Amino acid sequence: MRIAISQMNCKVGDPSTNIDHIHVRIEQAAKQKCSLVVFPEMAELGYDMEVITKSAKSWNDGPANILAQYAKQYSIAVIAGIAEREGMAIYNTLAAFDKNGALLTKYRKIHLITADPICEDKFLQAGQELSLCTIDGIKCGLMTCYDIRFPELARALYERGAQLLIAPSAFPLIRIEHWRSILKCRAIENQLYVAGANRIGTDAGVAFGGASQIIDPLGAILSSASETEDNLIFADIAVDQIAAVRQRLHIGQDRRPALYRNWSQSA
């Protein structure tokens, strides 16, 4: 399966411009024979909590329908970060559609950052559920930005059969070396592919660091973007590569989960 990551500058408070950009990138990815294109976190609104609070729409009134329309029009799966309002709550949501425009899954970010200057927890509701979907026979586990810092989430997705971790993000430039290291670590420790779709630009005083990457189960970087440029990157995902890596090094079967549970319970 060939996948694409669209690294973009999401214009804060300008969903029309952002959706137009997403449309162009979906078309470009489809022309490159990709089965999937991934966009950053909060791709349609940008990353300003006050703007998100004011502008977030319900699932039916937000960008989900147009993303589904583009997926169907270009016959390509699409995953993008959006703001989703449900009642009084606002969620940092990933919307995933198949090549026919049908909803595969939606994922609500579980780990909300509590540090200044973003403080998501003051504005957003945390998700509670894992989210996986299958695209062209490859099982994909979804994570969002700060989620990648928590190995428990990646491992839970691995335990449920994930072969590719997809992480749309708005990761800051000041910590971009963490981003690179963590993505590689998640790939190696779980013996799977990782696709990290970061953004560029600056919102609410936070500069974002790009460096989107697609990494194989051995930790090799298959494709990467710069820290500053709007770009579309590609890589091929091969299920047999996952099996080959796991046959050589038996991390899955050598784990001791009963011990780990005991340690956690006695802490």
What does the pLDDT average to over 153-162? 98
41 a catalytic residue: yes
User: CA–CA separation, 214 vs 18, rounded Å?
Assistant: 23
What does the pLDDT average to over 143-169? 98
Task: Indicate which residue of 10, 34, 41, 140 is catalytic.
Answer: 41
Report pLDDT for 130.
99
Using an 8 Å Cβ cutoff, are 248 and 241 in contact? Answer: no
What's the pTM?
0.97
Q: Assess whether pLDDT exceeds 90 at residue 266.
A: no
Task: Indicate which residue of 10, 34, 133, 145 is catalytic.
Answer: 145
For residue 25, the 8-state DSSP code is H
User: CA–CA separation, 64 vs 66, rounded Å?
Assistant: 6
Report pLDDT for 131.
99
Residues near 60 by Cβ (< 8 Å), separated by ≥ 6?
Answer: none
Q: Which residues sit opposite 2 in a β-bridge?
A: 236
Report pLDDT for 265.
87
Report pLDDT for 267.
78
Q: What is the pLDDT of residues 46-90, one digit of tens each?
A: 999 999 999 999 999 999 999 999 999 999 999 999 999 999 999
Q: Which token pair is 73?
A: 């029009």
For residue 229, the 8-state DSSP code is -
Is residue 102 classed as helix, strand or coil in its secondary structure? coil
Q: What is the pLDDT of residues 170-222, one digit of tens each?
A: 999 999 999 999 999 999 999 999 999 999 999 989 999 999 999 999 999 99
Task: Indicate which residue of 44, 99, 106, 109 is catalytic.
Answer: 109
Is residue 174 classed as helix, strand or coil in its secondary structure? helix
> What percent of the chain shows pLDDT beyond 70?
100
Q: Which residues sit opposite 138 in a β-bridge?
A: 135
109 a catalytic residue: yes
Q: Assess whether pLDDT exceeds 90 at residue 40.
A: yes
Report the run of H or E that residue 247 belongs to, with start and end.
helix 239-248
Report pLDDT for 117.
84
For residue 40, the 8-state DSSP code is -
- Cis? peptide before 15, omega within 30° of 0: no
Classify domain 2-266 by CATH architecture: 4-Layer Sandwich (3.60)
**pLDDT band at 141, cuts 50/70/90?**
very high
Residues near 260 by Cβ (< 8 Å), separated by ≥ 6?
Answer: none
